[in-house]
Amino acid sequence: MEKKLLVTGMDFLLDWVGQHIKSAEIVCSGDVSEENLSRLVKDADGILYMQAKSYPITRKIIESGEKLRFIQSAGVGYERIDLKAATDNGVVVMNMPVGTTVSVAEHTIALILGCAKNLVKAHENTVKGGWRILGLGVELWKKTLGIIGFGRIGIEVVNRMKAFEMNILVYDPYVGKEDIEKMGGKKVDLQTLLKESDIVSIHSPLTKETENLIGEEELGLMKPTAILINTARGELVDEEALYKALSERRISYAGLDVFRQEPVEADNPILKLENVILTPHMAVQTLDAVVRMMNQNGIQIEKALNGIYENVVNPEVLEKLKK
């Protein structure tokens, strides 16, 4: 019997992915309702989870897959996949952690520079015929950059920001002091990082421990001249507290590529602020990153269809499969 791959979140599959998948019929669905996916997954061997929309892969969907063997997240994040349900049912969950690193790091730096130099406000004023300075920008040279989460992206941001001779502070409870110092940083606790940093950039994964990592208390520790950057996950920041801090000028600026609700809701008050630069979860959206990531997805899925699993995030399932 021919194998089947269910692609969720898209009505079509990009050629870059499909050219590598030879072992399965491919069925794509832009309808990501639980009812529809539960129906389509019944005879699927695998799911390619495309995160074009914010939607979950629930226990019901997973348990509806009568021969489901794996779920592949097309990107780094997999927090909307019910990992426990997958593990309970012997379903391997994989992600794609590498292909997006450079593009997200570069987008982070673009937001840092945009905020520090008031670029969006200056552009808008200039195209309207204005020719005046709308508040002074700041130099990054010799300032302090705080990195929250020192994984691949955090490290790449630091590598690039060294050109500004910035002092680097890092908060990551899972990375050792020596590894941080090798990269020219200093390991500190979160409170110290927030108090001393001129730029705070978030690169943590979303977990139960990191949800609302930056709230009212944490924002209150930051300098009034500080800039907050988030290209990780919207749920890491308490948006109400952030809006209050920005509107009251208790921090200077924020650059956000992610939001708690995506697409961002039209009545989100952050949209009305002047001291923000906002982008639509597009840090990974460069031609280079998309081609690289989609090729890697296709190769990894073809291997999974043939029982070879890479970048597994619930490795305990592999032990079950051996028995």
Confidence (pLDDT) at 319: 82
pLDDT digits (tens, 9 = 90+) for 236-280: 999 999 999 999 999 999 999 999 998 899 999 999 999 999 999
The pLDDT-based confidence of 15 (bands split at 50, 70, 90) is: confident
**β-pair partners for 298:** none
- Give the chain's domains with CATH numbers: 3-99+288-322 (3.40.50.720), 101-278 (3.40.50.720)
Which residues are part of the catalytic machinery?
A: 233, 262, 281
Position 290 pLDDT exceeds 90: no
- State pTM to two decimals: 0.86
Average pLDDT of the chain is 94
Confidence (pLDDT) at 99: 83
Which range among 41-45, 93-97, 131-135, 225-229 shows the weakest confidence by mean pLDDT?
Answer: 131-135
Confidence (pLDDT) at 169: 98
Query: How many percent of the chain have pLDDT more than 90?
Result: 84
pLDDT digits (tens, 9 = 90+) for 268-283: 999 999 999 999 999 9
The pLDDT-based confidence of 2 (bands split at 50, 70, 90) is: confident
